[in-house]
Amino acid sequence: MADTAIRPPAAKPTKSTRRASDRIFLGLSAGSASLIMVILAGVAIFLIIKGIPAMTANWAANPDLSSIQNPAHRPWGSFWEYVGPLLWGSIWSALIAMVLGAPVAIGIALFISHYAPRRIAGFLGYIVDLLAAVPSIVFGLWGIIVIRPFLLPLSDFLNHYFGWIPLFSGPVSSTGSTMLAGGVVLAVMILPIVTSITREIFLQTPRLHEEAALALGATRWEMIRLSVFPYARSGMVSATLLGLGRALGETMAIALIISPSVLYSLLVLTDGYNSQTIAANIALNFPVASDIQRSALIGTGLMLFVVSLAVNVLARYIITATGPGKKRRRRKEGKSA
């Protein structure tokens, strides 16, 4: 019997080497996180510096400001009077998109994660994610050519039978350049982000929870309602809020589709009485604006930046406050106590 050679154990990386690699990785991670904060702070500082001249100016005494997109009834008295309707238009169009798109996105995510066969689920997930790569201008053109004429019969129906509701009152647009058409296009545009996040949250539901519900005699829908939805509630809310942030900043699709005015309006079927959005307003008027008018437009961009940041902070707070990680932290705190 041949003697087997005893081989020395493989050399392990030295402690100093591991520490050096850890320090490099930590430095890169911290630098990337810091760079994001620096960029965010830089954008905020730029918007504040450029927007302050118009925000603090006397609009009544400045013809360039008082006449910027001047409404028919009277000139603007201040920056806040001007930005109010624009901010309302951005929020209103985004809310319409969320009402139309969020339930569809959650339904698609649920079908992909729990109902569709594996091959079909992978294909559908790929198609939905591919929507995120479509440029906004393409969605805008699709809205003009397809969605506007498609919604005209629906607009007539809603106005005829539900015109007593303020949303559907007023003269119906003959061109389809309505807030409803813009909201439908925005709803399609937010599908990828809401669907992808919600799908991943659904797939992270503990398998034992689902199997326990099925073992107790629950149907698949009852299992989803009792096991999946409670676990994924915070994730669905945060995904919806992130989609809201996406809809708030949309520019070209809204600029191409709706026929806007700078006013407060709840009408979704009219032409010319749609509230303008901040992003579309900047895109349409920035090239032809004077210096002080550009300052006013940048100031409106600052307001949109604040609202979008607040929406994302709210989504992050919901995740940390009501997600599964919160329960684990509470259990750890109870054990330590």
d(CA 185, CA 97): 8
d(CA 122, CA 118): 6
Handedness of CA 42, 47, 53, 58 (dihedral sign): negative
Strand partners, 261: 275
User: What is the separation, in whole angstroms, between the first and last Cα of the chain?
Assistant: 63
Q: How far apart are CA 260 and CA 219, in angstroms?
A: 49
pLDDT value at residue 75: 76
**How much is the pLDDT for 250?**
80
Question: What is the model's pLDDT at position 95?
Answer: 92
Distance in angstroms (rounded) separating the CA atoms of residues 198 and 201: 5
User: At what angle are helices 291-322 and 15-55 packed, to 10 degrees?
Assistant: 130
Report pLDDT for 1.
45
Q: Average pLDDT by consecutive 10-residue portion of the chain (337 residues)?
A: 52 58 85 89 92 87 76 74 89 91 91 87 84 85 90 89 86 86 90 89 87 85 88 86 84 82 86 85 85 90 90 79 58 54
pLDDT given for residue 176 in this prediction: 84
CB neighbourhood size of 222 (10 A):
13
Q: What is the dihedral of CA 234, 236, 238, 243, to 10 degrees?
A: -170
DSSP state of 274: E
Rounded Cα–Cα distance for residues 65 and 82 (Å): 9
Model pLDDT, residue 184: 92
| pLDDT score of 117 | 87
